[in-house]
Amino acid sequence: MKKAVYSICGMCTVRCPIYVESENDRVTWIEGNPHLLGGALCAKGSAGPALREDHERPQQPLIRVGARGAGRWREASWEEALDYVAEKLADIKAEHGAESVVLSSRGGPWQSMYKAFIHAFGSPNYTNHDCTCGRNTHHASLSINGVGRKGFAYDIKNANHLVLFGRDMFSSLRIAENIQTLDMLDNGGRLTYVDVRQTNTGVKATRFFQVRPGTDYALALGVIHQVIAKGYYDQQFVDRYVSDFRSLMDFVEQYTPAWAAAECGVKEKDIIDFVEEIGQDRPKVIFHPGWNLSRYRDSFYASRALHILNILMGNIEIKGGLFIPKGAGDCGVKGIRNIDCGKPDIKRGDGVGWKYTHFDKGPGLAHLFFNNMLKGDPYPIKAWIAMRHDPLSGMPDPEEQKKAFDTCDLLVAIDTNYSEFGWYADVILPESTYLERDTPICQQKGLKPRLAVRRKAVEPKYDTKASWEIFKQLADRLDIGEHFPYNTIDELWAWQLEPTGITMADFEEKGFVELTDSPIYYDRDALDSQFKTPSGKLEMVSEKLNGVELPSLKPYVSPDKPEKGMFRLIYGRTAIHTHGHTTNNPLLSELMPTNTLWLNKREAKKMDINDGDWVEVASNDGFYRATVQATLTDHLHPEAVFTFHGFGRDIPRQTRNFMAGVSDQKLMRGKLDDWDQAGGAINLCEVFVSVKKSIRNRTGRGTL
């Protein structure tokens, strides 16, 4: 039997819209939704059918029978596994209180369901992966704009100039954004890229700054100085909407292009020429404020500086600039319902909201749980449920994390693949792959907001379930099922759509439902209510930061230089893989079976290392060592070494990526508690490693 559905990809967290054909319950065709992406899809999305067919993923619920991490499991039915988890949670709640349970996830449009579950259970402790991704950018935006990082979106296609600081968008793919960027370049727009190495994005740039690691903030300050000095900013916009502009002017006076050039290792003339370009191209100039800015100790302030540059450009609510994403209410229609439950009035176990009052309480900060777990402060944490989240792969120093996890009586992983956390957990509840599961309807905000839904293309190959079903069945067992008012996905969809007048039949034609025919812009002369800061203005000096005695305009501090024989470790993304989620995929592992260690050619020559040689890279305490092949390049700053994230995994059931390459997070010894006090994110690129030529290299007598 043939079948065709519009759906949503699940190979990464971008969730591109897709079109899928199947026959006799096997996927025969997959492409990007032609109504939105013109059929375009990345390698990861194209490898979705291989994920479905992969026998090296959990095929039924598993309950641990050996020591944690030993890989000894017994197969269980869903009834037994869900009963086991529910009984353990009920016992923990009775003995330690509901707040002793944490639930973490990958975030995204369906996290309201996960939040509702843990809040209905009685715990405030929902968290996600964002402490290693966008928290610095999010809090930087809140401190200036009064809204988080998703409070603005970008009309790249119609821009004159896009500026990216380490945002390697053509490796960390978002297909719609990539198409917009290529269209902008085809239309004569400019792309400026800033990074410590050349990348897939940098080679498409019209201007590339290769900066010394940790100096992004310095370059941004030098640009702000020159923009103000030349008067290349929107005076009218600043006068109306910005507070403390004089403080900004005084602060940046010392940070000249000459100073920034010397600090970053670039040419002063290039900075001056760049500012002339954006002076010509404004207001349609977009400074992307960063995505994975969980990097350096001042990344929060670097992101804050990029937000400030957008304000100076006066690019808010214009075509080719930034816009505030619109929802159903902006279209004059009612929105969908989402599963929800109010957060219990209990202190969070990570300290966010009561100890750290300047941070957004929403998902808190996952890494701040660990020290508190070891101390039992403010209360014990006795269970951790990870919904498609892998803390051991995503955060530094997994061995230190395990000490905290060992204080728990229950660790549960809900995932389509074996994760490092899942391998260490007590129970694995396998989620169906995205091609095998339906999901709740979600609203996608934008200039033309729409409703979207994932429809399953084929039936589950193994004994797996969708997350909506897993959480419903757990909730029923814990007597909180009233917060999940459905038994089937059709009932859930009908409940969501009831206020809107839209039916599921309306999704058939294109896979989505647009809520307006024309783009919606707000009146630029009436934006006062859009900035949710204490002052109601765009704050150069944040009242919230002042309240916790943190500077809004922080004086620049030059980053540490590596000692002799050491290098700063930089990690990044590849267009082929999604972190560690896909490195065992049958197709993608053929395209890229392992990672390598990039070294600057001149530095490698000093160590007698040639391209392709095996090298040993070690953490600064020598605890973790890995042998990996070297990739030599002129296009990497000599203070740094680089590797792609997601490798060095130690799960024997995943034979394709078992022990392949090097794990950057395992090299980050002692860095779990090294985090940005203003932005909240972990400082993932403040690690120095040693590198030497390995004895594994060929000799005259063969290979050792």
What pLDDT digit, counting tens, does each position of 652-667 carry? 999 999 999 999 999 9
Integer Cα distance of 512 and 495 in angstroms:
17
Q: Of 3.30.1490.20, 2.20.25.90, 2.160.20.60, 3.40.50.1970, which CATH number belongs to 2-53? A: 2.20.25.90
Beta strands in 232-382 (DSSP E): 242-243, 285-287, 322-323
Asked if 509 and 502 touch (Cβ cutoff 8 Å), the reply is no
* pLDDT tier, 291 (very low <50, low <70, confident <90, very high otherwise): confident
To the nearest 10 degrees (0 to 180), the angle between helices 216-230 and 299-313 is: 20
- Please name every residue paired with 691 in a beta bridge, in sequence order, or none if there are none: 617
Note whether 41 and 579 are within 8 A (CB).
no
Q: What CA–CA distance (Å, rounded) separates 5 from 31?
A: 11
What is the distance of C-alpha 297 from the center of its chain? 18
Q: What is the SS3 assignment for 584-615?
A: CCCCHHHHCCCCCEEEEHHHHHHCCCCCCCEE
Q: Residue 342 CA to chain centroid, in angstroms?
A: 25
pLDDT at 526: 94
Q: What is the pLDDT of residues 302-343, one digit of tens each?
A: 999 999 999 999 999 999 999 999 999 999 999 999 999 999
DSSP 99: G
The span from the CA of 572 to the CA of 299, in Å, is: 16
| DSSP H stretches of helix in 70-134 | 78-96, 111-121
> Which contiguous run of DSSP H or E holds residue 21?
strand 17-23
User: How far apart (Å, rounded) are the C-alpha atoms in residues 681 and 368?
Assistant: 10
Q: How are beta strands 190-195 and 161-165 bridged, if at all?
A: parallel
For a pLDDT cut of 90, what percent of the chain falls above it?
Answer: 97
Q: Is the dihedral of CA 581, 29, 432, 15 positive or negative?
A: positive
514 CB-side CA count, 13 A? 12
The class (CATH top level) of 153-323 is: alpha beta
Confidence of residue 696 (pLDDT cuts 50, 70, 90): confident
**Residue 499 vs residues 328, 450, 510: alpha-carbon distances, Å:** 12, 15, 22
Q: What is the DSSP string of 649-687?
A: B--TT-TTTBT-S--HHHH-TT-TT-B-TTT--B-TT--
Q: How long a stretch of residues is the chain?
A: 704
What is d(CA 534, CA 544) in angstroms, rounded to the nearest whole number? 8
Hey, where are the domains in the chain? 2-53, 62-133+346-514, 153-323, 566-697
Q: Phi, psi (5° rounding) for residue 446?
A: 170, -165
Given a contact cutoff of 8 angstroms between Cβ atoms, the answer to whether 44 and 582 are in contact is: yes
pTM: 0.96
Q: According to the model, what pLDDT value does residue 1 have?
A: 84
- Rounded to an integer, the average pLDDT of 213-219 is 98
Span between the terminal Cα atoms of the chain, in Å: 55
Do the domains 153-323 and 2-53 match in fold? no
Could you please state the CATH topology (level 3) that the domain comprising 62-133+346-514 is classified under. Rossmann fold (3.40.50)
- Kind plus residue range of the DSSP H or E element containing 496: helix 489-497
- Residue 658 per-residue DSSP state: B
Is 651 a residue whose pLDDT tops 90?
yes
Is the pLDDT at 698 greater than 80, yes or no? no
Q: Which helix (H) or strand (E) holds 164?
A: strand 161-165
Which whole-number Å values give the CA distances from 664 to 251, 518, 637, in the listed order? 36, 46, 18
pLDDT digits (tens, 9 = 90+) for 451-481: 999 999 999 999 999 999 999 999 999 999 9
- What average pLDDT does the segment 414-438 reach? 98
pLDDT at 493 over 50: yes
- Looking at 196-248, which runs of residues are DSSP E strands? 207-210, 242-243
Percent of the chain with pLDDT over 70: 99
pLDDT tens track for 576-597 = 999 999 999 999 999 999 999 9
- The per-residue pLDDT of the chain, averaged, comes to 96
The Cβ of residue 368 has, within 10 Å, a number of other Cβ atoms equal to 24
The confidence score (pLDDT) of residue 702 equals 35
**Closest by alpha carbon to 567, among 669, 633, 629, 640?**
640
- Rg of the chain over Cα atoms, rounded to whole angstroms, equals 25
The answer on pLDDT for 607 being more than 80 is yes
Distances from the Cα of 545 to the Cα of 247, 265, 406, 540, 642, angstroms: 15, 31, 36, 11, 34
Q: Selecting from 1.10.260.40, 2.40.40.20, 1.10.10.10, 1.10.3720.10, what CATH number does the domain 566-697 have?
A: 2.40.40.20
**Residue 32 scores a pLDDT above 80:** yes
Tell me which residue of 203, 282, 101 sits closest to 635, measured CA to CA: 203
Q: How confident is the model at residue 73 (pLDDT cuts 50, 70, 90)?
A: very high
pLDDT band at 292 (very low <50, low <70, confident <90, very high): confident
Q: Is residue 378 reached through a cis peptide bond, with omega within 30 degrees of 0 on the bond before it? A: yes
Identity of the amino acid at 677: Q
What confidence category does residue 701 fall into, taking pLDDT thresholds of 50, 70 and 90? very low
Look at residue 704 in the predicted model and tell me its pLDDT. Answer: 34
- Residue 71 CB-half CA count within 13 A: 8
Six-digit token string for 511: 């896979």
**Separation in Å, CA 110 to CA 105, 246, 453, 467, 630:** 10, 43, 11, 10, 40
What pLDDT sits at residue 703? 35
pLDDT of residue 699: 54
Measured between alpha carbons, how far is 171 from 64 in angstroms, rounded to an integer?
37
